[in-house]
Structure 1
Amino acid sequence: MSDSNTTSFTNPSTFILLGIPGLEEAHGWISIPFCTIYTIAVLGNITILFIVKREPSLHVPMYYFLCMLAITDLGLSMSTLPKMLAIFWFNSRDINFSACLAQMYFIHCFLVMESGIFMAMAFDRYIAICHPLRHSTILTNGVIAKINLAVLLRSSMLVLPYLLLARQWPYCKTNIIPHTYCEHMAVVKLACTDTRISSYYGLFVVFCVFCLDVLLIAVSYTQILKAIFSLPTKDARVKTFGTCISHLCAILSFYIPGFFSSLTYRFGSTVPLHFHILIANMYLLVPPMLNPIIYGVRTKQIWGRVLWLFAHKKTKNFS
C-alpha cells in the first residue's frame, strides 16, 4: 500500500473504502446476494410507483405515502450499492473526498426520511381505523403534500450538520475507511481532533428522531389495537388488523437492525468489525428490497394489478 495512505496530511483528496475488512477474499461471493438485493429493490420500487401511477383507485393517502417510501428506498439503494459493487467487482476503492461526504449526507438523509414516512403511514392507519368517517377530510391531498414536505425538510436539515461538521475537521491520521460506504462515524473517526460534538449530535439524531418516531408509531398502534379489539366480531378484527400487518413488518425490518448498527458502532467495541459492517449493510439494503415485497404481496390492489399486467402481457404475446 502506498505511503500516501498512511502519512500525515490535512485534507485528503480521496478516501479509500476497504469493503469488508477480513473478508476481502470473499468479496466476489458477497457481491452476488448484494447485487440480487439491489436488483429486486430497484425493480420492486419502480413497479410500486408505476402501478400506483397507472391505477386511479390507488390514488389515496396510503399509496401516496407508499410512493414516497418507494422513492426513498430507491434513493437509499442507489446511494450505496453502485459503489459497493464497484469495490467488490473491480477493486475500485477510491472515492473523492467531496463525493464521500455527499454519499454520507444522502445515506443518512434517506434514513431519517424513511423513519418519518413510517411515522406518517402509522398516522394514516390510525385515522383510517379509529376515525374512518373523517379519513378523507383529514388527510386531503394538501395535507399529504405538507406531511411529505415536512418529512423531506426535517431529514435534510437534521442531517446537514453531519456534512458541515465532517467537512471542517482536519484529517491527518489516515484516509482509509474500513467500510463499504462513507458512514458518518466511520468518516469522523479519521479526524485528528476532538470530534465529540459529531458523535453527540449523531446520538441526538438517533434518539431524538428515531426514538421519537418509534414512540409516536407505538402510540398510534396502541390506539389502533384498542379500536380493533372493540370490534364486535372476530372476522372484523382479523380483517382490520390484516391491513396493518405489512406496515408492522416493514417497521420491524427497518428499526431493529438500525438501532443495533448505530449503537454497536459507538459502544460495541467487542463486536467483530466485519460482522458490524455486514449488519450495517443489511440495514441499508434489506428494507428497500423487503418493502415492495411486503406491501405488494400483502396489498390486494397492488398484487392484483401486478398479476393483471403479467397476464395481460402473456395474452398479448400469445396473440
Structure 2
Amino acid sequence: MRRLLLNRIVNHILLNYFNILKENPTNLYRFQSIGRLINLIGSNCNGLISRPNMLTPLLAFSLTVYAKFDEKDEEKKLFERADKLFNENKFDSMVELLKSNPSWEDNNEVTWRLARCYYHQLKYRSDKGSPEYMEVLKGSLALIEKSLEINSNCGPAHKWASIILDEYSTVQGTKVRIGNLLKIKGHMEKAIEYSPKDPTVYYLLGEWHYGCSSVTWVERNLAKIIYGSLPEASYETALELFEQAEKIEPGFYSKNQIMIAKTLLALNREKDKATDHLKAIVTKYKGSKKWADAEAYKEATTLLSKIGEQVPS
C-alpha cells in the first residue's frame, strides 16, 4: 500500500512538472542546478515510478530548455562585459569580445554594438571627412543597417541608426543632410517606441527639433526645394523632450543639460534658469576627460561669455 501511494505521488509530481514546464519554460529556474533536477526526477524515486517511459522525454525536454536558457544567460553576460568595455573606452577589446561569437554577423545585438563602437572611435579623430574617416563611418552605417534587417523592432539599433546616419549626412554636405532629415527623425521616433525608458532617445529627438528650428537661410531654401517646406519642428517641442529625458534619468547626459539652457535662451525665456544650468555644467565637468562632458564644458563656457555672465573658476 505504501509503495502504491508513493508511486502515485511521484507520477503526479512528474505529470504536473511536465505541464508547468511546457507552459512556461522559465519555471526551470526554480531548480538551482540541472543535477538537482535529475535527482528530483530519478535518483530519489527508488524505482517507484510506474511510467518509466515518461522519464526520458521529460528529462530530454528539461535539458533542452535548460541549455537554451543557459545559452541566453551566457550571451547576456557577454553583452554586459562588452558594454562595460565600451564605457571604459576599451574599444579594441570590446570588438574582439563581440566577434568571439561565432554567429556575430547574424546577431542584431552584436551588430548594433559594433556599429556604435566604430562610430564612437571617430569622435577621437581629427581627420573628419578624410577617406579613412569615411571608410570607418560607412562600415558603421552598414552594420547598423544590417542590425535593423535582422530585427527592425530594436530600440538601440534605431537610436544608433539615427546618430550614425546624421553624422554620415552631415559629412556629405547640407543637401544630403536635409534630404535625410525625415529618415533620421523616423529612426528617433522608432527608438522612443521600442525603448521608451531610454532618456537618450528623447534627447536626440529634442536636438532634431532644435536643429530644424535653427536652420540658416540657405538650409531653409534647400528644404523648400526638397520637401516644399521645412519639416515641422519647434523650440517648444525640443524643450519638452529635453525635460522629459531629465525626468526619466536626471543628469544622465551633460549635453542634454546644455540643450535645455540653449533652448531656454532661444525662446528668450527664463534666462536665470539657463544661466544656472550653464554654470552647473562648468563646475561639474571642468577637467573631464570624457568626450561629451569636455564638449559640454567648452560650450557652456562659450555661452556664458556670450550672454555676459561670469564663468565659474
Normalising by the residue count of structure 1, what TM-score does the alignment of the two structures yield? 0.27
Q: More relative contact order in 1 or in 2 (CA 8 Å, sep 6+)?
A: 1
Normalising by the residue count of structure 2, what TM-score does the alignment of the two structures yield? 0.27
